């Protein structure tokens, strides 16, 4: 026998989720949901009672429990680590908070060279609680893979420059167009912080990582290519050596998919606006695709949810690898039972 042939994989490495990310045959199409932890679950609200969001992210026992809740309840094929994209920024001392129902708010926005100095490099000890919680989690999850994540440089920059959530990203774009050198320096610093944060997670046991560039769809392709892609590509390159699948996700990215395909991820997420076969064509060969049921569909009756899920599966039939997900995160008022039923439906429909 050829000594170079790897031993059969078992456990996490042989999971349907990781197999699909690697574009290998799967026993069924794997399913997980962005924002599955927290949001719609009553058991989440119960354990979170009286604890602020950012404080919750720094308590390993709470993080472990919240991360496990959707795995227990829905039987999803992967867990996503409970945290938030702004946690590494908080960890290096940025004066930000997460306001309930609003999102991340930054006291003093970052808009000048002097402001940039407030973004120091992230050290693993700054996020000791992530290492601790991931250690607990990988023990508890058995063969279910744990997905680590971080915010992409553009989406983090948007919160930092705007000072909070933004519809039009006007201050962010003003900086990008008006002070390109400062913008490039800001994105480069954020790329390093994000890379360090992902490395901590992979070393603590994350079996895959997702880069959330939620608001990048606000950009035209030429601006994305020139002003953002280099920073996201740096993040993917910085974790390449670990060999864990890297997922790249944004909303409203139909026109950006060919460029996302070039940024370096192994799996590219698509929102519901582009059918998955077309998304795969735009992304190019050699990538798995993740998505893309419209999260609002879950508010329709069961038969309609199943019909729309089947449409997603049909559009994914010829893909090299497909990870079933929503086209964006679970909406807060979603009925958890609808999510559980959807997981079973996708598993049954795709059982091989």
Q: Which residue has the tokens 């604890």?
A: 51
In our burial notation (b when 16+ CB lie closer than 10 A, e otherwise), range 257-286 reads: bebbbebbbbbbbbbbebbbeebbebbeee
> Interacting stretch for ligand CP3, rule CB under 6 A, among 95-103, 237-245, 254-262, 309-317?
95-103
Site for ligand CP3 in 257-316 (CB under 6 A): none
Q: Which residue in the set 41, 91, 98, 274 belongs to the binding site for ligand CP3 (CB under 6 A)?
A: 98
Q: In degrees rounded to 5, what are phi and psi of residue 325?
A: -155, 180
Q: Is 159 a catalytic residue?
A: yes
Q: CB neighbours of 333 closer than 8 A, spacing ≥ 6?
A: 40, 299
From the CB of 303, what's the least distance to ligand CP3, in Å? Answer: 27
Choice between 23 and 56, CB closer to ligand CP3: 56
Choice between 23 and 157, CB closer to ligand CP3: 157
Structure tokens at 122: 């992230």
Rule CB under 6 A: is residue 214 a binding residue for ligand CP3?
yes
Phi/psi class of residue 75: alpha, beta or left (left: φ > 0; alpha: ψ in -120 to 50)? left
Choice between 212 and 224, CB closer to ligand CP3: 212
Q: Which residue in the set 17, 82, 224, 272 belongs to the binding site for ligand CP3 (CB under 6 A)?
A: 82
> Interacting stretch for ligand CP3, rule CB under 6 A, among 99-107, 197-205, 227-235, 271-279?
99-107
Q: Is 59 a catalytic residue?
A: no
From the CB of 66, what's the least distance to ligand CP3, in Å? Answer: 8
Q: Is 35 a catalytic residue?
A: yes
Between CA 296 and CA 101 the distance in angstroms is 18
Rule CB under 6 A: is residue 37 a binding residue for ligand CP3?
yes
Asked if 267 and 211 touch (Cβ cutoff 8 Å), the reply is no
Between CA 137 and CA 146 the distance in angstroms is 8
Going by C-alpha positions, the residue among 155, 291, 263 that lies closest to residue 215 is: 155
Q: Which residue out of 44, 73, 84, 266 is catalytically annotated? A: 84
From the CB of 349, what's the least distance to ligand CP3, in Å? Answer: 24
> Interacting stretch for ligand CP3, rule CB under 6 A, among 13-21, 23-31, 97-105, 117-125?
97-105
Q: Which residue in the set 36, 144, 290, 334 belongs to the binding site for ligand CP3 (CB under 6 A)?
A: 36
Asked if 16 and 207 touch (Cβ cutoff 8 Å), the reply is no
Between CA 44 and CA 69 the distance in angstroms is 7
Choice between 47 and 182, CB closer to ligand CP3: 47
Q: Is 39 a catalytic residue?
A: yes
Rule CB under 6 A: is residue 39 a binding residue for ligand CP3?
yes
Asked if 262 and 229 touch (Cβ cutoff 8 Å), the reply is yes
Q: Which residue out of 48, 59, 118, 226 is catalytically annotated? A: 48
Between CA 54 and CA 83 the distance in angstroms is 8
- Three-state secondary-structure class, residue 288: strand
Asked if 20 and 322 touch (Cβ cutoff 8 Å), the reply is yes
Site for ligand CP3 in 164-183 (CB under 6 A): 165
Q: Which residue out of 44, 81, 159, 224 is catalytically annotated? A: 159
Rule CB under 6 A: is residue 58 a binding residue for ligand CP3?
no
Rule CB under 6 A: is residue 212 a binding residue for ligand CP3?
yes
Positions touching ligand CP3 (CB under 6 A) are: 34-39, 53, 80, 82-85, 98, 100-101, 103-104, 149, 165, 212, 214, 329
Which residues participate in catalysis according to the annotation? 35, 39, 48, 84, 159
């Amino acid at each position: 026998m050829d000594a170079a042939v790897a031993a059969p994989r078992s456990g996490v490495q042989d999971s349907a989720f990781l197999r699909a990310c690697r574009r290998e045959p799967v026993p069924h199409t794997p399913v997980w949901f962005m924002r599955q932890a927290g949001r719609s679950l009553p058991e989440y609200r119960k354990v979170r009672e009286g604890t602020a969001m950012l404080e919750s992210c720094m308590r390993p026992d709470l993080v472990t429990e919240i991360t496990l809740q959707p795995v227990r309840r829905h039987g999803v094929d992967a867990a996503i680590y409970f945290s938030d994209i702004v946690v590494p920024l908080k960890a290096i001392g940025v004066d930000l908070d997460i306001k309930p129902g609003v999102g991340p708010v930054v006291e003093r926005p970052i808009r000048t060279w002097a402001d940039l100095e407030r973004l120091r490099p992230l050290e693993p000890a700054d996020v000791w609680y992530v290492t601790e919680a991931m250690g607990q989690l990988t023990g508890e999850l058995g063969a279910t893979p744990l997905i680590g994540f971080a915010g992409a440089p553009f989406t983090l920059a948007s919160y930092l420059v705007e000072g909070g959530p933004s519809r039009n990203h006007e201050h962010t774009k003003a900086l990008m167009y008006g002070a390109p050198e400062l913008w490039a320096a800001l994105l480069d610093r954020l790329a390093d912080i994000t890379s360090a944060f992902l490395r901590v997670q992979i070393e603590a046991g994350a079996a895959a990582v997702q880069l959330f560039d939620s608001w990048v769809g606000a950009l035209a392709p030429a601006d994305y290519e020139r002003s953002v892609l280099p920073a996201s590509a740096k993040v993917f390159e910085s974790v390449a050596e670990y060999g864990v699948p890297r997922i790249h996700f944004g909303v409203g990215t139909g026109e950006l998919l060919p460029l996302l395909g070039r940024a370096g991820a192994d799996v590219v997420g698509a929102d519901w606006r582009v059918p998955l076969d077309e998304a795969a064509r735009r992304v190019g060969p050699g990538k798995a695709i993740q998505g893309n049921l419209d999260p609002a569909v879950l508010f329709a009756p069961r038969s309609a949810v199943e019909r729309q899920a089947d449409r997603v599966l049909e559009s994914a039939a010829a893909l090299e690898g497909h990870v079933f997900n929503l086209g964006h995160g679970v909406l807060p008022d979603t009925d958890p039972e609808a999510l559980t039923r959807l997981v079973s439906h996708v598993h049954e429909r795709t059982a091989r």
